[in-house]
Amino acid sequence: MPISLPARSLALSFALSGSLLGTGARAQNPVATFTVQVNQPGAPIAKTMYGLFFEDINFAADGGLYPELVKNKSFETDDRLLGWKAIRGAAALTDYSIITQNPISATNRNFLRLTAATASPDAGLLNEGFRGMGVKAGAQYTFSVYLRRGPGNVQGLNVTLEEPGQGGPGPEAPASGRTLAQARISGLTGSWQKYEVVLKPTATAAKARLKLTLDGAGTLDLDVVSLYPQDTWQNRQNGLRPDLVQLLKDMNPGFLRFPGGCIVEGRTLAQRYQWKETIGDVAARVPLVNRWNTEFLHKFTPDYYQSFGLGFYEYFQLSEDIGAEPVPILNVGMACQFNSAELAPISRAGGPSAPADHNHAADPTLDTFIQDALDLIEFANGPASSPWGARRVAMGHAQPFNLKFIGIGNEQWGPQYLERYEPFAKAVKAKYPNINIVSSAGPAPDGDLFDKASQRLRELKAEVIDEHYYAKPEWFRDNVHRYDNYPTTGTKIFAGEYAAQSVAIGSPDNKNNWNCALSEAAFMTGLERNADKVIMASYAPLFAHVDAWQWTPDMIWFDNLKSYGTPNYYVQKMYSTNPGTTMLPVQRDGGAANGADNLFSSAVADDKTGEIILKLVNYSAQARPVAINLAGVKKPGKTGRATVLASADLEAVNSLDQPQNLSPQDATFKVSSSKVTYTLAPYSFTVLRIPGKR
Ligand code: AHR
């Protein structure tokens, strides 16, 4: 439900007036005192503390971050014509077939053959894009295609970008819409050749489509049809959608987890994510079904595939661009336990463990998965003289990506996981002792399987355990003390997937509302207070297309042209852009616990800027005056900076039309001594930066 503007101005006025707030509020709410023990600093905050979880769910990759506009560009999906529609041009088009003889390459086996008996301006085909194609007036789009002329007299290919007309594409005469851009390709020959033209739309359209028609009668073969925006992140070829990357970079993320998520596992082992299939020539990457396509009956998406245009090289490059440590999560020889739960045998009875072409083996053993992990580390970090390092260098990155983490298994559970994790982790450590390994505690944050996995992984001296929690908002507020009694030594925690669910896990009615975001903010004070135990945390999932999602809530939503951060995004951003460098203890008056009276807090020092940073959550409908005592602070400055995210409406959400409905407001406030007063707005999350050294 949209929030009214006055609520936002209210938040700002609280932040600005600080201690000058009217006495009425004070009379109702006694001042809560927070003592920050600046002179008793704790452990350093890990640079990885607040990061990102990326999974290709909700059209996060194709149709999202990966901006190729043509769906099924190489005719390689199981339904070879997925995304394409033939247009017959008053019966001129007599045949359109998928052919495999003499393809452009052995890895790109299928192509389309069009035959027109007579010339017609409408004999050809249409591509629908990913819920349409988003194009901008005046921007440039590179159209490319491989063509081969067959018998007959086809002189060229007409390329039209258009907005569909009323009535949709009929096979005889498509309801032609407004033409946005047009070009013609000529100079065809009898052998495969790549052609390129640039299209410049005359108008902006969110749901355009591509029309390709034959110029003349005869036969023409087509493959690898691409329409790619030139406006990409860093203007790279095969680059990413800039507005979405910018939203990520703005967060100052500590790490980027990839590729998931259950997608790592696949519904079956054959459908697992295999990183080696995602690198090299983009045209040669073979698409794989996306496991989220038909997972939810309420959001059936049978046309969902992974083109792998955004593959592992692009992932490492993105991590580097946004300053995040890459954290790849790899399959541990287990298909998704919510689906087939298929297992790779730990070893092959009596036989060799990994056949030569092990990646395509029908029944890979665990060795295949281990080898993939070792090879990935070599791809990321190895020298040009190593086989996989050479592949990275050939793709254009001579320097290593400096990979430091690797996850073994996604959200696995039970003895089958632990049996596979142990030899896997040993093999990785034997070859790469400096790589930090992330292990899994399963899908639930508690219970028998969670306890057993956590205990065993600690016995095995696991470095980092990945915990997941998708729960109601109240769970997040009630569990703010979750980590208080975790051991400070040994295994560290990665809160690898979490999000408050306003209705229930998997419900299509879940909302990214303020109640969820504020509850997450409250919970995160508990992460920060335990930053000597929790070294990484990421909200999940990251992205969702408004017309093509399967799972909600999600941190960032977009359509084909626009995007926005949810209130949850802003909460994450307020943490990740204010991470600090050193933990500081905070105590409440009278020894009240964190969260007492619906007030939540944590504090860190930023030794680089010489500031004390407080995170304060007021989960109540009243304004809350607070006193902050900076015990032992040196040189407190005179002006503090406040960032406030607040709304009296717990149902408030952002949207494409109102992207900033709920967004942080900045203000300054006076600091006259080591004792600071401030008033927290109703239902607010506030970050205070106060100059002062420890
Ligand atoms: O974030 C969505 C899914 O939730 C992830 O793929 C999986 O790891 C978890 O169950």
Nearest CA to ligand 1 atom 7: 261
Q: Return the number of other C-beta atoms located less than 10 Å from residue 634's C-beta.
A: 12
Domain 5-45+581-691 has what CATH class? mainly beta
Measured CA to CA, the distance from residue 640 to residue 612 in angstroms comes to 10
pLDDT of residue 112: 98
Measured CA to CA, the distance from residue 290 to residue 304 in angstroms comes to 6
> For residue 261, how far is its CA from the centre of ligand 1 (angstroms)?
5
Kindly list the distances between the CA atom of residue 32 and the CA atoms of 591, 600, 667, in Å, as whole numbers in the listed order. Answer: 11, 11, 22
- Mean pLDDT over residues 466-479, rounded? 98
Nearest CA to ligand 1 atom 9: 261
Would you identify the CATH topology of the domain 52-65+243-265+301-374+399-568?
TIM Barrel (3.20.20)
Which tokens in the block code for residue 224?
A: 């690898």
Mutate to test the pocket of ligand 1, among 327, 332, 410, 450 (most ligand atoms within 8 A of CB): 410
> For residue 470, how far is its CA from the centre of ligand 1 (angstroms)?
9
Closest ligand 1 atom to the C-alpha of 261?
6
- Mean pLDDT over residues 556-572, rounded? 99
DSSP codes of every residue in 61-95: TBTTTB---STTTTS-SSSTTTTEEEEETTTTEEE
Q: Domain map of the chain by residue range? A: 5-45+581-691, 52-65+243-265+301-374+399-568, 84-229
pLDDT of residue 29: 65
- Mean pLDDT over residues 344-356, rounded? 66
Q: Which residue has the tokens 């969702």?
A: 544
- Mean pLDDT over residues 464-490, rounded? 98
Question: In this structure, are residues 191 and 103 in contact, taking their beta carbons and an 8 Å threshold?
Answer: no
Q: State yes or no: pLDDT of 477 exceeds 90.
A: yes
Closest ligand 1 atom to the C-alpha of 263?
6
Q: Which residue has the tokens 């919510």?
A: 338
| Helical packing angle, 448-459 and 415-431, nearest 10° | 30
Q: State yes or no: pLDDT of 481 exceeds 80.
A: yes
- Mean pLDDT over residues 327-342, rounded? 97
Nearest CA to ligand 1 atom 6: 261
Mutate to test the pocket of ligand 1, among 54, 262, 470, 507 (most ligand atoms within 8 A of CB): 262
Fill in the amino acid letter for 216: G
> For residue 60, how far is its CA from the centre of ligand 1 (angstroms)?
14
Question: In this structure, are residues 376 and 312 in contact, taking their beta carbons and an 8 Å threshold?
Answer: yes
Question: In this structure, are residues 101 and 223 in contact, taking their beta carbons and an 8 Å threshold?
Answer: no
Q: State yes or no: pLDDT of 250 exceeds 60.
A: yes
DSSP-derived 3-state class of residue 313: helix
Q: State yes or no: pLDDT of 15 exceeds 50.
A: no
pLDDT of residue 10: 31
Q: Return the number of other C-beta atoms located less than 10 Å from residue 383's C-beta.
A: 12
415-428 residue pLDDT tens: 999 999 999 999 99
pLDDT of residue 11: 32
Measured CA to CA, the distance from residue 146 to residue 579 in angstroms comes to 49
pTM over 0.85: yes
Nearest CA to ligand 1 atom 5: 261
- What confidence category does residue 9 fall into, taking pLDDT thresholds of 50, 70 and 90? very low
* Nearest Cα residue to 558 out of 302, 323, 206, 235: 206
pLDDT of residue 89: 82
pLDDT of residue 19: 35
- Mean pLDDT over residues 518-547, rounded? 98
Q: State yes or no: pLDDT of 498 exceeds 70.
A: yes
- DSSP bridge partners of 125: 86, 212
- Mean pLDDT over residues 376-397, rounded? 98
Fold match between domain 5-45+581-691 and domain 52-65+243-265+301-374+399-568: no
* Nearest Cα residue to 436 out of 410, 408, 399, 477: 408
| 163 is a catalytic site residue | no
Mean pLDDT of the chain: 93
Measured CA to CA, the distance from residue 179 to residue 535 in angstroms comes to 53
- Mean pLDDT over residues 156-172, rounded? 77
Measured CA to CA, the distance from residue 343 to residue 366 in angstroms comes to 9
268-293 residue pLDDT tens: 999 999 999 999 999 999 999 999 99
- Mean pLDDT over residues 475-490, rounded? 98
Measured CA to CA, the distance from residue 138 to residue 132 in angstroms comes to 18
Considering 68, 378, 411, 528, which one is annotated as catalytic? 411
Nearest CA to ligand 1 atom 8: 261
DSSP codes of every residue in 554-604: -SEEE-SS-EEE-HHHHHHHHHHTS--SEEE-EEEGGGPPTTGGGEEEEEE
Domain 84-229 has what CATH class? mainly beta
Which tokens in the block code for residue 68?
A: 């190729």
pLDDT of residue 401: 98
pLDDT of residue 243: 98
* Nearest Cα residue to 605 out of 570, 564, 644, 635: 635
CA 354 to the chain's CA centroid = 33
Burial of 598 (0-12, 13-18, 19+ CB in 10 A): middle
Q: Three-class SS string for 590-634?
A: HHCCCCHHHEEEEEEEECCCCEEEEEEEECCCCCEEEEEEEECCE
73-109 residue pLDDT tens: 999 999 999 999 999 888 889 999 999 999 999 889 9
- What confidence category does residue 349 fall into, taking pLDDT thresholds of 50, 70 and 90? low
- What confidence category does residue 177 fall into, taking pLDDT thresholds of 50, 70 and 90? confident
Measured CA to CA, the distance from residue 417 to residue 409 in angstroms comes to 8
Q: State yes or no: pLDDT of 630 exceeds 60.
A: yes
- What confidence category does residue 30 fall into, taking pLDDT thresholds of 50, 70 and 90? confident
Q: State yes or no: pLDDT of 348 exceeds 80.
A: no
Q: State yes or no: pLDDT of 460 exceeds 60.
A: yes
Closest ligand 1 atom to the C-alpha of 470?
4
> For residue 296, how far is its CA from the centre of ligand 1 (angstroms)?
13
> For residue 134, how far is its CA from the centre of ligand 1 (angstroms)?
28
| Pocket-forming residues, ligand 1, beta carbon under 6 Å | 55, 57, 260-262, 410-411, 443, 497, 540-541, 551
